[in-house]
Chain A
Amino acid sequence: MARNKTTRESRLFRRWLRRAALRSALVVALITVAVFFIIRLVPGDPAVMVLGEHATSASIEALREKLGLNLPAARQFLRFLQNVFLHGDTGESIKYGVSSRALVFQRAPVTLLLVALSMLVTLAATVLLAFLAATHKDGLFDQIIRVVPAFTQGMPVFWVGLLLILGFAVRLRWFPVGGLKPGFGGMLYSLILPAVTVSFGQIPPLVRSLRERLIAVLDADFVTTLKAAKVPRRVIFLRHILRNAFIPTLMLLSVNLSYLIGGTLVVERVFAVRGIGDLLFEAISNRDFPLVQAVALYCAVFVVVISFLADLIAHWADPRTLT
């Protein structure tokens, strides 16, 4: 695939790279602006919202000062940009009095692990199920696979989590009901059920589209030729078909990443996992604006960067996707 890259392909690739980099930069810029406006969406005075109706006017004034709400709008925005670009920060957390970035970074590892684990589960299940469906096209299993998305798309992710807890933690006692067990192994073990929960809703639509692509590959002329040449089935499968299916799967995952992150945040709540999602909801109930802004900013930038990388790998590995 990547071996016989022609000059035309590398030109296309460079053009894509330029455009995608520009677009990602623009998206990050827009996200930054959007995050700035979060606190400005609040009807009335954000300082009053934080401290409550009965706070003294002195303490409200002090908070307004701290959040920079007394500055002219242009200066506020400048200060915000300074914080973001020089310190990678959206200011001090109101509740903890420390940099909001530090708090995000402290909670990030668990969430990243959960995201990675969910991706792994999603990927493994998708490839396996799509293969089974595609190789037994129109069979019973294939028919089932095709209607499942109608059933799963309306399932709230937190409710799926509760059902899994009910079944696998409460009844069967295979997994802890919530929280994290000590040690890396314990953490991994505690994150299995949350990861399955996050993946659950993602898998059916992914299976549906991968199945279509696989069927196209299975029907392709080169597979017929390989079969005619008496190449062992296993070799055709692993060397040729799997390879061709990998790229579209990768691109699907990149599209799905933002849903995955969103699901992760909510699922952390269900399983009492103290990651970024937990931090977000804690910040929300404390009305800790700088912290909410930091979580939003970091999550969004993470999605942009990872999607860009996934597309980069896909296009690099298979220039045919560039057109």
Chain B
Amino acid sequence: MRQLKRPRRGALTLGVGLAMMLVMIALALLAPVICRFDPLEQDLYAFLRPPGGLHPFGTDQLGRDMFSRVLYAARTDLRIMALAEIAPFLTGLFLGMIAGYYGGWVEWAVTLATDTFIAFPYYLLVIVVAFATGAGVHGIYITFMLVGWLLYARVARGATASLRESEWLQSARLMGYSDWRIIWRELFPNVLPQAVVVLMTDMAGLLVIIVTLGYLGIGVTQPTPDWGTMIAEGQNFMTTAWWLSVIPGLMVVYTGIALSFIGDGLAEIWEN
């Protein structure tokens, strides 16, 4: 690895990450075609079967096929992950750029808001908000709308503030461009790469949160398959049927690795 030049290494990391992610997405999308069993269909004659044969990932305590449950859960969790990230990403980016560009009290207010939420244990915040807004997918979206933008606001503010005094922006201002045009046409393309790198790490983090809420019983609820609830259910059978908890967890880890490879790869490519 050491011998490769940075851009080449970046491209390699990015490629591996993208390939891993595409495989995951394809499996999720094609789940109805690939799976031989319905994820909700119970078969009490074939419960707690270890992985192998007809059931490559085994069956759970109700005889449901783990392979199709895991793939259908991917559909649920990846969809929530992608959808929940859109609004915070855009709002955070926008507010951060405004704060960084204008400075003054706007910047002060955004910094204070981000500082406050960083002091607040993130998981506690998410758990409490998800609880108050009511369990379910719905709660996850609201929670993330409330807290997710802060990270992007911080990144965008920092990136914008560092460009604020640059000669190149000064000259754009001298040319008489409106603030609006400067923010969208000059700043946005420069801030976006950093924000996208952060997006990848944050998505992995969000997936972990979705799964954690499911595990705690305040996220995705039964009977919708979700990796978190699957791990929670499997915990009761851990000594006899390890695959119930271990396999859904591996899915989360796999997705996380794919996302962080994409993020690292992009970061290395864009740094040059």
Contact = CB atoms under 8 A, between A and B. Distances in A.
B129 A150 contact: no
Contacts of A220: none
Contacts, number: 142
A42 B127 contact: no
Interface string B100-136: 0000000000001001101111111101110111100
Interface residues of A, number: 49
B129 A162 contact: no
Given A159-B249, A300-B120, A304-B119, 15 more contacts: A38-B132, A153-B256, A154-B207, A154-B252, A154-B255, A156-B212, A170-B239, A258-B118, A258-B122, A263-B123, A266-B123, A270-B235, A284-B127, A292-B132, A300-B119
B260 A159 contact: no
A186 interface: no
Interface residues of B, number: 50
B264 interface: yes
B238 interface: yes
Nearest to A289: B132
B271 to A, nearest CB: 15
Contacts of A259: 121-123
Given A162-B235, A265-B127, A154 B218 contact: no
Interface of A: 23, 26-27, 30-31, 34, 38-39, 41-43, 138, 143, 149-151, 153-159, 162-163, 165-166, 170, 258-259, 261-263, 265-266, 269-270, 280-281, 284-285, 292, 295-296, 299-300, 303-304, 307
B117 to A, nearest CB: 9
B245 A27 contact: no
A284 B213 CA distance: 12
Interface in B185-237: 201, 204-205, 207-208, 211-212, 215-218, 228, 231, 235
A62 to B, nearest CB: 22
Main secondary structure on chain A at its contact with chain B?
Answer: helix
B246 interface: yes
Interface of B: 1-2, 112, 115-116, 118-125, 127-129, 131-134, 201, 204-205, 207-208, 211-212, 215-218, 228, 231, 235, 238-239, 242, 245-246, 249, 252-257, 259-261, 264
A134 B125 CA distance: 36
Given A284-B127, A303-B120, A154 B204 contact: yes
Contact of B133 (A42, A166, A170, A303): A42
A43 B256 CA distance: 33
A42 B132 contact: yes
B257 A151 contact: yes
> Which 4 A/B pairs are nearest by Cβ-Cβ distance?
A154-B256, A262-B123, A159-B249, A41-B132
A205 to B, nearest CB: 10
A26 B112 contact: yes
